[in-house]
Amino acid sequence: MNSEKKTIREQLGKALLFFDGGMGTLLQSRGLEAGELPETWNLLHPEVIRQIHREYLLAGCNIVKANTFGVNCFKCKGTPYSVDELVHAGIRLSQEAIDAVRQELDTDRPMYTALDIGSLGKLLKPLGELPFTEAYEAFKEIVTAGTQAGADLILIETVSDSYEIKAAVLAAKENSSLPVIVTMIFDENGKLLTGGDVASVTAMLEGLGVDAVGFNCGLGPEQMKRLLPQLTACCSLPVVINPNAGLPVVIDGNTVYNVAPDEFAGSIKALVEMGAGVVGGCCGTTPAHIEAVVSLCKGMAVKPVTDKELTVVSSYNHAVYFTDKPLIIGERINPTGKSKFKQALREHDMEYIYKEGLAQEERGAHILDVNVGLPEIDEPQLMEEAVCGIQAIIDLPLQIDTSDTAAMERGLRCYNGKPMLNSVNGKKESMESVFPIAKKYGAVVVCLCLDEDGIPETVEGRLRVAGKLVETAAAYGIPKKNLVMDALVLTISTGQENANITLETLRRIRYEMGLHTVLGVSNISFGLPERSRINTAFFTMAMQNGLSAGIVNPSSEPMMAAYYSFNALTGNDDQCMAYIASCPQGADKAQAASTAKDGALSLEDAIVKGLSESAYQATLRLLQQGAESLAVINDRLIPALDVVGKGFEEKKMFLPQLLMSADAAKASFEAIKETMSERGRKSQSKAKIVIATVKGDIHDIGKNIVKTLLENYGFDVIDLGKDVPPETVLETVKAHGVRLVGLSALMTTTVVSMEETIRLLRDNHIDCRVMVGGAVLTQEYADMIGADFYSKDAMGSVRYANDLYEAGAL
Amino acid sequence: MQSEITEALNRREIYRYLGYRGAVPDETVRQMTEEVIAEMMAVIAPRHIYRIFDCRTEGGRITLRSEDKGAAVLSVRSEKLAVNLERCEKAALMAATIGGGADKLLGRYEVLSMAKASAAQACGAACIEAYCNVLQRRMQRQASGQGFFLRPRFSPGYGDLALETQREIFGVLECTKRIGLTLTDSLLMYPTKSVTAFIGWTTNAQTCHIGSCSTCDNIGCEFRDEQ
């Protein structure tokens, strides 16, 4: 046994191996009831499980999937069994079947037991309710049990959420040294059910260091044939294919799979010829299918696995490749030199960060740099929050940018995809702390060409550091393709040769060393006037000299003009389409003109009509004319909002109009905030209000509408988000001495949590009022659960808060 | 499928969700809503699954069985659903979703503009309704071939049909594995713009094939369509 355990890693991708087939359908045919957890049969009917394994082994398979697919702490809750005992029993039955068959046939055919791990069946945060760390712990429990029980490999299968897959793989890698194979369900378009594509998830899994990847379930062998080229094009690992016996067909209310053993085997043969190295079956396949596959394919050579040498990063849904066509890395999520950004970080204003991200995506960035470092904040915590928050709404891959290794690890760990990491340098200490983290999470690392002696002044000096970085990375197991070199930019205002040195270094790294490159472009003009002139010229020169990715501000028109022009000029823009699309269109110009016209509107008109840009401009004008911000708010902004609010209450105006005005008021506040921060003053708020969507509830648009309106009326809203435990509400209210709490719940099932939250506040004798709202609530219901106020719409909560404020109760 | 949903998408429904009832939205709101609809249509990924069972209702209990085996796959108590499925020999269980892209879009709008977020919320709701209507029309064609008519959709949470029924439907249809639909401990679905429902098949001719406000007894509903 031991020698085999050593060789399975070596065999993967070299000798053709056969998986067994489906288990669930066979169990059903032997009496498994709907709703019964199949893995309980490991203890209730071990002979049945052993017999199925035996049939597959006699059919000729090498790898038996132990009957552990559905075991996890959530599903075990409804049974008298523990994860540990079901997993141990499952592994043991597979081993017993293997031992028996080996003896019976007197064969040296390699036979392995796979610890089979399926989805937890829960959606992870931020979209769902399961925290990443809890998913990790759940998988860890299974991995630990299976490894102790003596499994030969870990198979993570039938998964379709890349984030859950990452939790499972980390649990496997950190708690076991067994080989890890991951097979996923894709649809016919090559998408996971959560939207990821083949390239993005493959990049992530290669980075995490799994041993083989592939497809299972969802599709039949013919559909997988169409999909396999997508995988082999980007994958440098052995490929595993376990299809269903065709697409499911419902006959008489039962799901059946129609592809017969011979036909199935024929398709599998083609899949092996195309590059699959491990083949077997999933739903609907039987020992007969596997027998047909083995007899047809046995002895076939496996197509050698080649390293695709791709430098790639990915988000949860798509991959971005470093090629000869340069990329744009958006630099704006970074507090350096930005007082407003710093203030946002201090105030924990995540929305500010998200807006910066969305704006850069809109302007054409391919990757976003994320730097949230400030001396006085908890950077690791904020990094995690920023990465998760950005990934919840933005599809671009991220570059985790920090010098704090704890923040680095937190950011990389919670990241969904294959991340980019900024940065390591040639100092021993830097390499020793950063490379292990980069290796573990499979990040593409930005390498700065400097070391203990500082930034070398010569091209040769920088190349030497680059060489040292490549060599040291290799010692940590990080291949060249996962390194991107920063040739470093020093301003030409302090050294005439600085640009030339950078450009020549760039050229030689790219074309002589064969590495991809990155630059923080705008440093070149530091200390000079009209910096964008120099920046754009230098950006073009750098791209011409082999720059793979520029860290730039995508909102800078001249920079993006240089970028699109460069691509058009170098034949990297088919029919100049991207260039043309980047040019201001007729409609944009017209809109700009109309905005200019609206710009003359008064603040009141702009708010009543719901025109954000006009409201912003009008506010700036008022402030420039010397108006006090408080007067602008109280005498102009609030009365205008009242007009709309009243119209809404009288049903003369409707929700979209109310919210367009709220958006406009928000823009007006932006102008006020900016001006005040320029004048070195802080804005004042009426009172703090805590709002939350209660535990168990993930629908929070109503709460967000209330938040916007309360902020419009000058309240400082502490938004705890959705799915908020009662304890969090209590702690926050206590910590900030808050006198008003707003709670929302959508469903009858979650109103229970609302009641619990109110009870907890009351039991702790907190002197605060609670207002509630949400689809299923009524005045009676609100009274019953002990709320102080029921708000039937968003304006109601504003009125209530205002009344309390004016009565001095807040 | 996208184009069919676009075609079936009901503007009046969207504005009704936004609180307009019968009123006509002004040009600015209409324009904003159209922008949101266009973006929404670009990100949806509609998926569905349904299975048809033998259906029996007896004393307020509904039992669904596979058409050949007779093993009960689902059994639930609900007077209202029993009325809905009265004299239905068969019933379909269905689940449909327009995918997580719609939720992500809503999240983006919440950062950029609450007005657009509210429109996206309404648009998403109308979108999954439109999708269900398209699916139901397809199912009607299948049913007609066998001489059946369809009853209006009936979902967990309607009337006295317990939300807990979601767990059983998810089990029977394998919603998570097959169409990426997940159920939280508090019985909410994600992606949020999703529907699970029973659809009765009866040989009795019906006048109302697709559910509307007139079949709902929540008279006080904010969004009730009186027409």
CATH class of A688-806: alpha beta
Topology classification of domain A594-678: 1.10.1240
A705 → closest Cβ in B118, B177, B192: B118
CB contact under 8 Å between B32 and A656, yes or no, is yes
Are the C-beta atoms of A547 and A488 separated by less than 8 Å?
A: no
Mark yes or no for CB contact B176/A121 under 8 Å. Answer: yes
Residue B222 lies in a domain: no
Rounded Cα–Cα distance for residues A534 and A232 (Å): 43
Q: Is residue B169 part of a domain?
A: yes
Beta strand segments in A24-135, E: 63-65, 112-117
Helix (H) or strand (E) holding A184: strand A180-184
B166 touches chain A (CB under 8 A): no
How far is residue B101 from each of residues A123, A583, B40, B107, measured CA to CA in Å?
Answer: 15, 28, 8, 10
CA–CA distances in Å: residue A773 to residues A100, A349, A810:
64, 25, 20
Query: With contacts defined as CB-CB under 8 Å, which chain A residues touch B182?
Result: 121-123, 128
Q: Which of A233, A238, A369 is nearest to A310 (CA)?
A: A233
- Of the listed ranges A69-83, A103-117, A581-595, B78-92, the one predicted with least confidence: A581-595
Average pLDDT over every residue of A460-486 = 97
B12 touches chain A (CB under 8 A): no
Probe site for chain A from B15, B188, B193 (most A CB atoms < 10 A): B188
pLDDT of residue A697: 87
Q: What is the pLDDT of residues A652-662, one digit of tens each?
A: 899 999 999 99
**pLDDT grade, residue B212 (50/70/90)?**
low
Q: Is the pLDDT of residue B207 over 60?
A: no
Average pLDDT over residues B14-33: 91
Given a contact cutoff of 8 angstroms between Cβ atoms, the answer to whether A442 and A207 are in contact is yes
Residue with tokens 């209507």: B133
- Whether B13 and chain A come into contact, CB under 8 Å, resolves to no
All structural domains of chain A with their residue ranges: 2-297, 320-332+359-449+456-570, 594-678, 688-806
The confidence band for B213, taking pLDDT boundaries of 50, 70 and 90, is low
In this prediction, residues A121-146 reach a mean pLDDT of 92
Residue B149 contacts A where some CB pair is shorter than 8 Å: no
Q: State which residue of chain B sits closest to A34, comparing Cα positions.
A: B73
Q: Which of A35, A160, A250 sits opposite B180 (nearest CB)?
A: A160
- Written as six digits, the tokens of A308 are 């695709």
Residue B195 pLDDT > 70, yes or no?
yes
pLDDT band at A630 (very low <50, low <70, confident <90, very high): confident
Alpha-carbon separation of residue A213 from A479, A533, B26, B148 (angstroms): 19, 48, 54, 46
Between B160 and A137, where is the model more confident? A137
pTM of the predicted protein model: 0.91
The verdict on a CB contact (< 8 Å) between A612 and B111 is: no
Residue B208 has pLDDT above 80, yes or no: no
d(C-alpha B83, C-alpha B57), whole Å: 9
What's residue B220's pLDDT?
55
To probe the interface with A, which of B36, B48, B114, B176 has the most A CB atoms within 10 Å? B114
Q: Does the beta-carbon distance from A252 to B67 stay under 8 Å?
A: yes
- Is residue A743 over pLDDT 80? yes
Residue B124 is assigned to a structural domain of this protein: yes
DSSP B203: S
At A152 the pLDDT is: 97
Q: How many domains does chain B have?
A: 1
Structural domain range at position B65: 2-210
Dihedral sign from CA coordinates of B28, B30, B35, B40: positive
Q: What residues contact A671, with CB distance under 8 A and at least 6 apart?
A: A616, A617, A619, A620, A623
Mean pLDDT over residues A731-748, rounded? 92
What pLDDT shows up at residue A337? 86
Closest-CA distance of chain A to residue B221, Å = 10
Residue type for A328, please?
A: I
Shortest distance, CA A646 to any CA of chain B (angstroms): 15
For Cα atoms A151, A282, A223, give the angle at the middle one, nearest 5 degrees: 135
Equal fold, A2-297 vs A320-332+359-449+456-570: yes
Interchain proximity B180–A194, CB inside 8 Å: yes
Q: Which of B25, B73, B177 sits opposite A654 (nearest CB)?
A: B25
Confidence of residue B223 (pLDDT cuts 50, 70, 90): low
Residue B49 domain-assigned (yes or no): yes
Res B226 pLDDT > 70: no
Determine the length of chain B: 227
d(CA A115, CA B151) in angstroms, rounded, equals: 46
Q: How many CA atoms lie within 13 A of A161 on its CB side?
A: 29
CB A712 within 8 A of CB B202: no
Q: Is the pLDDT of residue A591 over 90?
A: no
Res A364 pLDDT > 70 = yes
Q: Does B47 touch chain A (CB under 8 A)?
A: yes
Strand partners, B49: B95
Tokens of B142: 């299948």
* Token pair for A532: 């964008």
Residue A595: predicted pLDDT? 55
Cβ of B51 and A747 within 8 Å? no
Interface contact B115-A659, CB threshold 8 A: yes
| Partner-chain residue, chosen from B26, B108, B184, that has the shortest CB–CB distance to A128 | B184
At residue A122, the pLDDT reads: 87
Lowest-confidence region among A211-220, A486-495, A541-550, A793-802: A793-802
Nearest CA in chain A to B107: A393
Q: For residue A685, what are its two tokens?
A: 């708020």
B217 pLDDT more than 70 = no
How many A/B residue pairs have CB atoms within 8 Å? 156
**Closest partner residue to A127 among B65, B100, B187, by Cβ?**
B100
CATH number of this structure's domain A320-332+359-449+456-570: 3.20.20.20
- Mean pLDDT, residues A732-740 taken together: 94
To the nearest whole Å, the CA of A654 is away from the closest chain B CA by 6
**In this predicted structure, what is the pLDDT of residue B71?**
75
Tokens representing residue A312 in the block: 């790639």
| Residue B175 forms contact with A (CB below 8 Å) | no
Residue with the larger pLDDT of the pair A696 and A730: A730
Query: Within 13 A of A336's CA, how many CA atoms are on the CB side?
Result: 9
Distance, in Å, from the CA atom of B217 to the CA atom of A460, rounded to the nearest integer, reads 81
Of B54, B103, B171, the CB nearest to A35: B171
Give the tens place of pLDDT for each residue, B60-88. 999 998 866 667 889 999 999 999 998 89
- At which residue do the structure tokens 């009866």 appear? B202
- Tokens 């069919």, residue located: B4
Classify domain A2-297 by CATH number.
3.20.20.330
Nearest CA in chain A to B218: A776
Instruction: Show Cβ contacts of residue A262 under 8 Å, excluding neighbours closer than 6 positions.
Output: A292
Q: ipTM value of the model?
A: 0.88
Examine residue B218 and state whether it is found in any structural domain, yes or no: no
CATH number of the domain at B138, please.
3.40.109.40
For residue B113, list chain A residues with Cβ-Cβ distance below 8 A: 612, 659-660, 663
Predicted pLDDT at A593:
55
Average of per-residue pLDDT across A517-527: 95
Mean local confidence (pLDDT), A59-78: 95
A700-735 pLDDT, tens digit per residue, is 888 999 998 999 888 999 999 988 999 999 999 999
Instruction: Tell me which residue in B114, B119, B172 faces A704 most closely, judged by beta carbons.
Output: B114
- Among A5-19, A179-193, A388-402, which is the least confidently predicted range? A5-19
For residues A647 and B68, the model is more confident at A647
pLDDT at A592 (0 to 100): 56
Chain-centre distance of CA B134, in angstroms? 11
Average pLDDT, chain A: 93
pLDDT digits (tens, 9 = 90+) for A215-267: 999 999 999 999 999 999 999 999 999 999 999 887 766 678 999 999 999 99
Can you give the pLDDT at residue B209? 43
